[in-house]
Amino acid sequence: MSWSVDDVPDLAGRVAVVTGANGGLGFETARVLVRKGARVVMAVRSPEKGGRARASILGEMPGAALEVVTLDTSSLASVHDAAATITALHDRIDILVNNAGVMGIPRRESADGHELQLAISHLGHFALTALLMPALLRSDRGRVVSLTSLARLFGRPIDPDDVAMHRRYDPWLAYGRAKLAVVQFTVALDRRLVASGASVRALAADPGFSGTDLQAASAREAGGRSQRLAARTVRWFGSSPATGALPQIRCAIDPDASGGCLYGLRFAVRGAPARQPYLVPWLRSQDLRALWAVSERETGVRFDVAALVRAGGQPPA
């Protein structure tokens, strides 16, 4: 069955938070959601870039409900500050799109000492989701959408004894590890939500081979042959950001999209967004518990889904 932005329903009264919304997939997602009537919080690392992105959308849609909040998912302090700002503005959140990420960069550590790709793509979003969950639980059909990629196929689970990858670092293995962690988090979160009787659902989206600035930024920073090849190839063969954003948009708003599942373009660079197999073996209960435990330990954020649901959308004491 085909699906396009024409199938997005009226979102008036809905509140969405999109990380990394100043460009690429995040920008296109924010643009579609606000066009359909949602109020969108653009959670971005650079307020200057966020302001320009907001102005661009307002130039197309004057009066659109857009807010810019500073968020650097590589910094847990920034995550806490952003979550406090967002929840002060909005008592209820209907959609959270964990979109921000980096790809294939040389080894760097975050302000908290975490390997940067894991920090930005997973750990920061894990903490943000936990902190925003009370507001999400106040929605009658909340969605948490997290962005993975085909790199999950060569990712390996986090080694709890070497989370920072001091022993061996490869840019692409680190990227795959981060995107596998996103998948594990999505499945684990949805299972916990279902078990607790919550209406919120967690889904993962794969944009396929989409031509955003992600590949170019990787090539600029790393300067390696593989990064330059990826940047050139996506320019030649990749889909547009608008097409690549379709899976995460469908995950965010389609009531028929199944919780705990992955949606991607049917043919990687084209076709309607449709349910796809994860094709990774590390989704057993013990794998998901291990991912959850290391995520809580590294972020210092206890994410007790059952307790949050019992509290009825209020943070537990």
Question: Which of the residues are catalytic?
Answer: 175
Kindly provide the residue ranges of all beta strands, DSSP E only, lying in 34-75, ordered along the sequence. 39-44, 66-70
Asked if 92 contacts 135 with a C-beta cutoff of 8 angstroms, the reply is yes
Asked if 95 contacts 17 with a C-beta cutoff of 8 angstroms, the reply is yes
Asked if 50 contacts 44 with a C-beta cutoff of 8 angstroms, the reply is yes
Q: Tell me the two tokens of residue 22.
A: 């100043």
Between CA 213 and CA 294, with CA 205 as vertex, the angle to 5 degrees is 95
The amino acid sitting at 301 is V
Of the candidates 274, 245, 243, the residue with the CA atom closest to the CA atom of residue 258: 274
Burial class (CB in 10 A: 0-12, 13-18, 19+), 204: buried
Distance CA 123, CA 80 (A): 12
Of the candidates 91, 298, 76, the residue with the CA atom closest to the CA atom of residue 181: 298
Between CA 21 and CA 247, with CA 80 as vertex, the angle to 5 degrees is 30
Can you say whether the dihedral through the CA atoms of 136, 293, 248, 68 is positive or negative? positive
